[in-house]
Every structure is written in C-alpha cells, then in structure tokens.
C-alpha cells in the first residue's frame, strides 16, 4: 500500500511526512522545499488481538505497545503542486508521475490561511480553493494522458481494456475504469472522445482510484472556527484538523527520552531544560485541547475507512497463535475488505496459495474453505501442500 502526501507548496507536507516516518527531510518555510519525492514508512495504530486472546504478542512485521499494534504503510511526499502543474509549471510533471502508484491521497492544506497557492506568505488564503486547484490539476493530468493516446484507443473494440492497459501504472482496476466510463455514459468501442469527455472520465476515475482525505494542518496556529468553516466548504471530503509540527516535536522529544506520549497527554520522563519544559507545556496543552495531534487520525481514516482495510493475523499453530519460531501473533497483515482465505495465502507465498487445501479459524478452531471471507482481526492458519522456496 502506498499513500501519497500532496498539496500546494509550503503547507507542511514535509513536516507531516517526518512526523509520520521519523525520516529526516529538508523542512523550511518556503516553496519547493521538496524536489525529489521522499519515501518512508509510517505506522497506523490498531488495537491488537493479544488482549482478547489473553496472550502477549511478539511481532515481526510491526510493533506493539500497551495493546496497540502499529502496522507499517508506505508514504510518499512529493513536490508541491501549483496551478498549471499538468502543463509542467513548478515541479508539476515530476509531482504527478510520483503519485501514479498511490492507493490514496492525503492533501495537506494550511488551515491558518497564512500561505497562498504558490506557497507565499499572505494575510488570508482560502484552503478550500487549494483542494479544488489540486483536484483540477490531477484531473487535467489524467485527461491529457487519455487524450494523447486517443488515436491508439480508437482502434480498440473494447475501450475499457484499452484504458486499463494505458492506465496500468495508476494501479487502476478494470472495474474502476468500467465504472468511470459507464457513470459518464461514454462510448465503449473505438472511442473518439472530445476533450470534455476525457475530462469527465478523468474526474470520475480519479475519485474511484485515488480517494482523498484532507489534512487541515497548522491547527496550532489556526482559529478552531476555521476548521469548522473548512469542513463546511468541503462537504464531499473527510477533513481532519492536525498539527504536523506538534506531532514531530513530540516524537523527537520521545526519541530523546524526555517525554512519553500516550495520545491524550505528554508526560515528562527525562530531565528537560527550562526551554524544553516550556515546549513540553505547549505540546501538552495542544494535545489535551485537541485530543491528540490529529496525525494518527488521518492515517486511521485513510487505511481503515477510505481504503477499507482489515487486519488479519496468519499463524502456523492455531492453538498457541504462533509461527514455527514460536513468535506469538507474528504478523499483522492489512487486507482489502472482502478478501478470502486464499488471498491471504497468496500474500504469505504463492506456493502456499497453490497448494492450499483449507484454513482454520484459530479462535473457533473451525475449518474454513478457501473462499471464506476474512473478517477484521481474524487469526488464520493455512493448511497447504505447498512449501515456501
């Protein structure tokens, strides 16, 4: 899974990326700080099944603390987008190409309104206009790709298959393309769409293939009323207030052994200087006032609500919930809602899937078929004649 961080320049994308991944990247208060895309791994929190099962997990692919499993997801932070990016303005073409493989997008806007669409300082800018601008650039980018290949597509009796091949780099599914074509009542054989029809297709396809959540950043500087106003302006999107700066400061203080962050408050654990103590008070005041920094809420929204992922725990011993090394609940695997036991086997190894006979629901100790629909927090053993090479 890959989640793209997007937005106009100087909205705090790199700060949020650093807060999510703890990767050191260049952060500055000016446009186009990010030139090359930053790639990293964030961790989405989910209550672990260890408590329910009465065991203590020993994770391999994730971490677990106080019953909260933190499951890795890939993040890409791309260069800021300005009006006309699809025509190559700013870092436009690079920006757009870096996003093609994303499963979902988080657009970072400046909730304080102190920076405009070009990332320049201003007294007031409308963050909602940024969302419309970015969406328009993405739509025009996709529409342009389709239009440039119209002659090739017009030779194909099945436009859906042709478009699927053309847009394969976008992680586009056949169903997403079919739905976009049908929803706009477009022709499906030897197509010769107009520019307007290309745009209609691109708009619908973008919504289906790259769902968007809005991160209303810099809430440590913004009037809380502006967040409610922004939510009213962007009723078609989930808008979540956050502060990347506060989250990053907390994580750096944690890494230094100065504080411990529980999600609802910041506790002093080390011996901070007076200057550090003042900063800790500011951080603690913010998280208490806003019930956290909002950063984890954004990841939770994207992974579990927008992309509708579930968590499944594959094991080899259904009685002890372990792998063959004795690790308890070793892996927490993110699967699409509606996935089958066979698809879980495929995630483990193709040879395991080829030789799969059946599975075991480790909670109920019941045999399940290959087409069993997985549920969130299932613990599953796969019986297979296949072996991993």
Highest mean pLDDT among 10-14, 34-38, 351-355: 351-355
Task: Decide if pLDDT at 292 tops 80.
Answer: yes
Percent of the chain with pLDDT over 90: 70
pTM: 0.88
The CATH code that applies to domain 2-37+78-233 is: 1.10.8.470
- In terms of DSSP bridges, do strands 212-217 and 104-110 run parallel, antiparallel, or are they unpaired? parallel
Contact of 213 with 301, CB cutoff 8 Å? yes
Query: Residue ranges per domain, the chain?
Result: 2-37+78-233, 311-384
Per-position DSSP letters for 65-89, written without gaps between them: ETTEEEEEEEEEE-----TTGGGT-
pLDDT at 331: 96
pLDDT at 22: 83
Residue 368 DSSP SS3: strand
Containing H/E element for 344?
helix 341-348
How far, in Å, CA of 293 to CA of 264, rounded? 9
* Domains 2-37+78-233 and 311-384 belong to one CATH topology: no
How far, in Å, CA of 1 to CA of 341, rounded? 19
Highest mean pLDDT among 5-14, 153-162, 331-340: 331-340
The mean of the pLDDT values for the chain is 89
Once rounded to an integer, what is the mean pLDDT over residues 193-222?
95
Residue 3's Cβ-side half-sphere holds a number of Cα atoms within 13 Å equal to 30
Per-position DSSP letters for 95-113, written without gaps between them: HHHHHTT-SEEEEEEETT-
- Under the banding of pLDDT at 50, 70 and 90, the label for residue 96 is low
pLDDT in tens, 268-279: 998 889 999 999
Residue 219: how many other CB atoms lie within 10 Å? 25
pLDDT at 299: 95
Assign domain 311-384 to its CATH architecture: Roll (3.10)
Once rounded to an integer, what is the mean pLDDT over residues 71-98?
71
| Listed residue (369, 386, 378, 370) closest to 335, CA to CA | 378
Environment class of 316 (CB within 10 Å of its CB; exposed 0-12, middle 13-18, buried 19+): middle
pLDDT at 8: 86
């Amino acid at each position: 899974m890959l989640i793209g961080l997007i937005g106009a320049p100087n909205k705090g994308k790199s700060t949020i990326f650093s807060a999510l991944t703890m990767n050191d990247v260049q952060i500055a208060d000016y446009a186009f700080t990010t030139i090359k895309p930053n790639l990293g791994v964030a961790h989405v929190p989910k209550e672990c099944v260890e408590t329910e099962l009465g065991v203590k997990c020993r994770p391999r692919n994730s971490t677990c603390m106080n019953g909260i499993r933190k499951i890795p997801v890939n993040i890409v932070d791309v260069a800021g987008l300005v009006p006309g990016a699809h025509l190559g303005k700013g870092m436009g073409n690079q920006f757009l190409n870096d996003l093609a493989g994303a499963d979902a997008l988080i657009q970072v806007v400046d909730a304080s309104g102190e920076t405009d669409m070009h990332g320049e300082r201003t007294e007031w800018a409308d963050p909602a206009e940024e969302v419309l601008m970015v969406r328009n650039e993405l739509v025009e980018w996709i529409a342009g790709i389709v239009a440039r290949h119209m002659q090739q597509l017009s030779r194909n009796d099945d436009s859906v298959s042709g478009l699927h091949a053309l847009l394969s780099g976008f992680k586009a599914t056949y169903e997403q393309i079919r739905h976009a074509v049908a929803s706009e009542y477009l022709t499906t054989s030897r197509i010769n769409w107009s520019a307007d029809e290309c745009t209609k297709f691109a708009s619908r396809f973008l919504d289906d293939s790259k769902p968007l959540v809005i991160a209303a950043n810099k809430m440590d500087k913004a009037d809380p009323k502006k967040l409610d106003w922004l939510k009213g302006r962007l009723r078609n999107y989930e808008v979540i207030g956050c502060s990347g700066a506060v989250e990053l400061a907390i994580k750096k203080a944690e890494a230094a052994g100065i504080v411990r962050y529980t999600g609802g408050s910041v506790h002093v654990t080390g011996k901070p200087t007076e200057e550090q103590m003042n900063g800790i008070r500011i951080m603690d005041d913010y998280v208490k006032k806003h019930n956290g920094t909002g950063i984890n809420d954004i990841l939770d929204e994207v992974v579990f609500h927008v992309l509708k992922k579930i968590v499944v725990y594959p094991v080899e011993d259904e009685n002890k919930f372990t792998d063959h090394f004795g690790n308890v609940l070793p892996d927490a695997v993110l699967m699409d809602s509606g996935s089958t036991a066979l698809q879980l086997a495929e995630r483990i190894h193709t040879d395991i899937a080829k030789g799969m006979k059946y599975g075991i629901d480790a909670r109920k100790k019941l045999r399940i078929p290959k087409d069993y629909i997985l549920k969130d927090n299932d613990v599953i053993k796969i019986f297979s004649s296949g072996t991993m090479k």
